[in-house]
């Protein structure tokens, strides 16, 4: 669990306005529970995949002062239930939002560049509003010529949407991935 103690130290140091050095993750849990009770905080934890992570950073509502909000994202409904959290289901992007997001990453603008409108719309419709896939593919295609775009589109046409989206599932391993290697040939 390298790095979690450091993250606890940063959170505590920022909220308490003084440098906090922890002996262990357990010490961090104790400090967060005892020292943050008087503070109203907003804690956002992204892509939580294990209950232990929630216990380390947001053990219970009693850890934080009045008016605090704890927000975490997860694909694991059991975590939401186990933590007693009120779920909020995020909807996928609509076509307009999908084109804007994809275009920002592919062209640096909200609309597709001239000559790339149809290809952009085909890619966005293929991904059905999944932001991480649109960001990833838009970034990969940025600066590429139309022949490379068509090559990717042809490869995308050969596989199902579900199979395509599996290739773009976000991982937290810190490894930079090459999109073209992820697409089945």
For the chain, the domain total comes to 2
Q: Which of 83, 106, 133 is the last residue of a domain?
A: 83
Q: Yes or no: say if 168 and 133 are a contact pair by the CB < 8 Å rule.
A: yes
Residue 88 lies in a domain: no
CB crowding 53-92: b at 16 or more within 10 Å, else e: bbebbbbeeebbeeebebebebeeeebbeebebeeeeeee
- Whether the per-residue pLDDT at 128 is higher than 80: the answer is no
Least confident of 19-23, 37-41, 109-113: 37-41
In the chain, the percentage of residues whose pLDDT exceeds 70 is 88
**What's the whole-number mean pLDDT along residues 119-143?**
89
Residue 177's domain is classified under what CATH number?
A: 1.10.8
Higher pLDDT, 50 or 121: 121
Which residues have CB under 8 Å from 158's CB, separation 6+? 184
* pLDDT score for 57: 85
Give every CB contact of residue 71 below 8 A, 6+ residues apart in sequence.
Answer: 42, 43, 44, 45
54/19 same-domain check: yes
Pick the last residue of a domain from 83, 116, 140. 83
Residue 142 CB neighbour total at 10 angstroms: 12
22 pLDDT band, cuts 50/70/90, is very high
Query: How large is the average pLDDT for residues 116-141?
Result: 89
pLDDT band for position 89 (cuts 50, 70, 90): confident
Confidence of residue 172 (pLDDT cuts 50, 70, 90): very low
């Amino acid at each position: 669990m390298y790095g979690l103690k450091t993250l606890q130290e940063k959170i505590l140091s920022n909220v308490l306005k003084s440098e906090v050095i922890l002996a262990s993750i357990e010490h961090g849990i104790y400090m967060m529970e005892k020292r943050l009770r008087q503070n109203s905080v907003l804690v956002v934890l992204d892509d939580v995949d294990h209950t232990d992570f929630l216990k380390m950073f947001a053990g219970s509502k009693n850890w934080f002062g009045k008016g605090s909000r704890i927000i975490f994202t997860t694909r694991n409904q059991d975590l939401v239930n186990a933590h007693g959290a009120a779920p909020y289901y995020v909807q996928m992007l609509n076509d307009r939002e999908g084109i804007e997001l994809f275009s920002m990453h592919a062209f640096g603008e909200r609309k597709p560049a001239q000559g790339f409108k149809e290809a952009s719309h085909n890619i966005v419709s293929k991904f059905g509003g999944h932001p991480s896939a649109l960001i990833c593919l838009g970034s990969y295609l940025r600066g590429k010529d139309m022949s490379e775009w068509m090559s990717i589109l042809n490869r995308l046409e050969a596989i199902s949407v579900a199979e395509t989206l599996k290739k773009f599932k976000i991982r937290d391993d810190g490894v930079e991935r090459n999109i073209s290697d992820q697409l089945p040939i």
